[in-house]
Every structure is written in structure tokens, then in C-alpha cells.
């Protein structure tokens, strides 16, 4: 066993060579336990290792691999873009407030159903139509006031920061219900951000 024998470098190399992993497919032996082929040359062994590292792909497999890599890069860029201070401030600014615009889509669906069910009552349909226009006008005013407030807050916190590209993000975030916002809200309503 050699527990008390002196340590030599050659004995450790032999032990490492004996414990090296050899895949079962690489061992070709007949019933007597002897190899049935000559040992591979160094060039063949290196080619086999390189084939594992750099497989030859079909055109379809190469396109799929490239598409997957491009999607991964795109997702990484999106994560980095979403973490810019202006966008984080915008998300927190919107998430910390109550807004009628957030409830606009569910209210519009209810009004649409009422207008379909109330076909026998033209005055009901007229009232629902007027209600939709009023709701849309209130939402536009709400978005305008929120945008003005956000631009002032942005200039206070990050002087000289650009608000370019944030208006569309603000509108889509305001229209989304709180639970469906992506990335999810990290600030509670009324909480300081």
C-alpha cells in the first residue's frame, strides 16, 4: 500500500496515470483483455480531442448556435440597459404612485362588455362610449403630469441626464397593472424611492 514509503515524484505520476479517467468507448478489448487495435498516434489523439472541443456542425446546427448566442447577448444588453440610473428612477417613480391609467385597461374591458350586453339600451351604450372618451382623456392628462414630474425629478437627481427614450417606457409601465410590470416593482406605493 505504501503508506509509510517515501514520496517520490515518479510514484505520484504513476498513481495519477492509473487513476485517470478513460471513457468506456475508448477502451476496445476482446475477450482475452487485449487491445484489438494499435495505439493511436499523437496526431490522431489531438484531432479526437479537438473534435470534441470544436465539433463540425451542420449549417442548421451552426445557425441555431449563432441564434442562441445572439439571444444571450441581446438579453445581457437588455439587462444592462434596464439597470441604468434613469430607468431605475423612472420605474421607482411610477411604482411609488397611484395612477388611474393603471386601471384603464380593465375598466375599458368592463365598459366594452357592458356596451355589448346593453345593445337593447342605446342610452347605456351612449353613456359607456362617453365614459371611454372621458377615461382616455383623464389618462392622457395623468401621463402628461407624470412625465413633467418625472423630468423634474430626473434633473434634480441626475443633472444633465437625458430623458430620451423614457416616455414610451413610462407610458407602457403606467398602463400595465402593477402585478404584470416587468421588471417587477421594488417600491411600495407611497414609499420613498
Lowest mean per-residue pLDDT among 5-19, 30-44, 59-73: 5-19
8 A C-beta contact, residue 88 and residue 169: no
SS (H, E, C) 125-155: HHHHHHHHHHHHHHHHHHHHHHHHHHHHHHH
pTM: 0.60
* Tens digits of residue pLDDT in 124-136: 888 888 988 999 9
pLDDT score, position 37: 82
Instruction: Tally Cβ neighbours within 10 Å of residue 47.
Output: 11
Output the CA torsion 65→71→72→78 (10° steps): 170
The whole-number pLDDT of residue 141 equals 95
Q: Could you tell me the pLDDT band of residue 189, with boundaries at 50, 70 and 90?
A: confident
Contact present, 131 and 111 (Cβ < 8 Å): yes
Burial category of 135 from C-beta neighbours within 10 Å (exposed 0-12, middle 13-18, buried 19 and up): middle
How much is the pLDDT for 7? 52
Cell of 92: 421607482
Locate the domains of the chain by residue range.
Answer: 35-82, 89-180
Mean pLDDT of 156-166: 90
Amino acid at each position: 500500500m505504501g503508506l509509510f514509503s517515501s514520496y517520490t515524484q515518479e510514484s505520484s505520476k504513476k498513481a495519477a496515470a492509473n487513476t485517470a479517467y478513460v471513457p468506456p468507448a475508448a477502451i476496445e478489448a476482446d475477450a482475452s483483455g487485449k487491445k484489438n487495435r494499435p495505439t493511436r498516434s499523437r496526431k490522431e489523439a489531438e484531432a479526437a480531442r479537438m473534435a470534441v472541443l470544436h465539433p463540425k456542425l451542420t449549417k442548421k446546427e451552426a445557425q441555431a448556435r449563432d441564434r442562441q448566442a445572439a439571444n444571450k447577448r441581446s438579453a445581457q444588453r437588455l439587462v444592462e440597459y434596464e439597470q441604468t440610473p434613469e430607468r431605475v428612477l423612472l420605474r421607482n417613480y411610477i411604482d411609488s404612485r397611484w395612477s388611474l391609467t393603471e386601471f384603464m385597461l380593465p375598466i375599458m374591458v368592463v365598459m366594452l362588455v357592458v356596451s355589448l350586453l346593453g345593445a337593447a339600451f342605446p342610452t347605456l351604450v351612449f353613456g359607456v362610449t362617453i365614459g371611454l372618451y372621458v377615461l382616455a382623456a383623464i389618462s392622457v392628462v395623468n401621463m402628461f403630469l407624470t412625465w413633467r414630474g418625472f423630468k423634474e425629478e430626473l434633473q434634480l437627481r441626475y443633472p444633465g441626464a437625458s430623458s430620451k427614450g423614457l416616455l414610451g417606457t413610462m407610458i407602457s409601465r403606467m398602463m400595465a397593472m402593477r402585478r404584470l410590470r416587468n421588471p417587477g416593482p421594488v417600491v411600495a406605493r407611497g414609499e420613498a424611492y
